[in-house]
Amino acid sequence: MQFLGESYARELSRILEAPVSVIQKALKSLEKDGVIAARVMGRTRVYRFDSRYFAAAELQSFLRRLAEPEAEWKNRLARIRRRPRIGGKPLWP
């Protein structure tokens, strides 16, 4: 998530093309293990790597290397909205 900074379940679901419920379950498990930390932003739970996790730097470095050759992922990240949608706000094109 370092290349994303902070993210939320729906955004990760779109990037990974996986069901939101699966992503939420994984995030809950990672949070329980202390790998990631969460905070509430409005009605959305936002996640980031927990810098206090003993292997945070190594994990981020590993994930960065895994994502480098994935041009498709970079394109998906560029297309996906970077913040939660405010309720009642019209969709942008």
- Write the pLDDT tens digit of every residue in 60-74: 888 888 777 677 777
Element (H, E) at 48: strand 44-49
Phi, psi of 49, deg, nearest 5: -65, 140
Query: Are residues 24 and 31 in contact, defined by beta-carbon separation less than 8 angstroms?
Result: no
- Which strands form 7-8's sheet, in the order they lie side by side? 7-8, 44-49, 36-41
Q: Which band of pLDDT confidence, cut at 50, 70 and 90, is reported for residue 90?
A: low
Q: Which band of pLDDT confidence, cut at 50, 70 and 90, is reported for residue 1?
A: very low
pTM above 0.75, yes or no: no
Give CATH for domain 7-79: 1.10.10.10
Q: At what angle do helices 20-32 and 9-16 cross, to 10 degrees?
A: 120
Query: Are residues 64 and 3 in contact, defined by beta-carbon separation less than 8 angstroms?
Result: yes
Residue boundaries of the structural domains of the chain: 7-79
pLDDT digits (tens, 9 = 90+) for 15-59: 888 999 999 999 999 999 999 999 999 999 999 999 999 999 999
Q: Which residues make beta-bridge pairs with 18? A: none
